[in-house]
Chain A
């Protein structure tokens, strides 16, 4: 292949044609992470049923590599809070979040996890998961359709892949 620019370097495209990819390790890691988010398997209420449906044949979340629901927080990347968080459940959710190894992400699935939903005025319900843990993706719905959860996971993929954009949107720099 001819080296036709003045510095004598190959362009990115020319390198890729030769099967060589130049990138940073961070980008590579984020690319790998974003295509293999392992959710933490736990459900708090009826949203969990939709989450289970998402893993089954009709919606098949394994098309994206997100089907590996782990039973231990130590092995999980993303915590899908699917359902109403009661005050009695609050310490457990908090503890499980802290047991997940970094980097970790949180998806608040359904109206209850976002804001307490129809139970927000109850004495026993936490008014939203962001009271306890930092939430990355909010999926509205009561409960959200499995397509919505898939869309949420793909949005999280974008977020993981573009840390600079996320930082810009959050802090403006």
Chain B
């Protein structure tokens, strides 16, 4: 579905080539680890005021953190993706913008091992205390208890 507002155009106008857009996918933009907080702050002010989900993917060469943004007023939806390297999987926390980012980021940290800078309480949320590793990473070796 087409968005009511053209966020891609808006972002290119504001950030230039610091955001990567694909004209065929009008619902998707790529930010980078340095400016993701600014981009999302801008988008929140422009009407995408609902952070529905934060997820992540491991493409072996790089990580991707995926933010799902919706609007309470319009039927608009935008996916903001941030690519991160395996050597330095760090991105700025969104807890200053949305309180809900707290637990969502803890989940991504727990399962994928991506560090969120300035997060108030970055601890494991799903796995138990003392768990080692990040299970959704492609190089995670699962330990089976099969008898």
Contacts and interface: CB of A to CB of B under 8 A. Distances in A.
B142 A123 contact: yes
A99 B145 CA distance: 26
B145 A131 contact: yes
Interface in B133-147: 135, 140, 142-147
Chief secondary structure at chain A's binding surface: loop
Contacts of B127: 88, 124
A121 B135 contact: no
B72 interface: no
B147 A121 contact: no
A146 interface: no
A120 B144 contact: yes
A140 interface: no
Interface in B28-66: none
Contacts of A126: 145
- Give the interface centre of A88, A126, A131 by most chain B CB atoms within 10 Å: A88
A94 interface: no
Interface in B95-147: 127-128, 135, 140, 142-147
A126 B140 CA distance: 19
A116 B145 CA distance: 9
A65 to B, nearest CB: 35
Interface residues of B, number: 10
A119 to B, nearest CB: 10
A64 B147 CA distance: 35
Interface in A101-150: 115-116, 120-128, 131
A16 interface: no
Given A127-B147, A128-B147, A121 B142 contact: yes
Nearest to A90: B128
Contacts of A121: 142, 144, 146
B37 to A, nearest CB: 32
A87 B127 CA distance: 9
A125 B145 contact: yes
A87 B128 contact: yes
Nearest to B145: A127
Contacts of B135: 123-124
A123 B147 contact: no
Interface of A: 87-88, 115-116, 120-128, 131
22 contacts: A87-B128, A88-B127, A88-B128, A116-B145, A116-B146, A120-B144, A120-B145, A120-B146, A121-B146, A122-B144, A123-B135, A123-B140, A123-B142, A123-B143, A124-B127, A124-B135, A125-B145, A126-B145, A127-B144, A127-B145, A127-B147, A131-B145
Q: Which 7 interchain pairs have the tightest Cβ spacing?
A: A127-B145, A121-B144, A123-B142, A88-B128, A120-B146, A123-B135, A127-B147
Given A120-B144, A121-B142, 9 more contacts: A88-B127, A88-B128, A121-B146, A122-B142, A123-B143, A124-B127, A127-B144, A127-B145, A128-B147
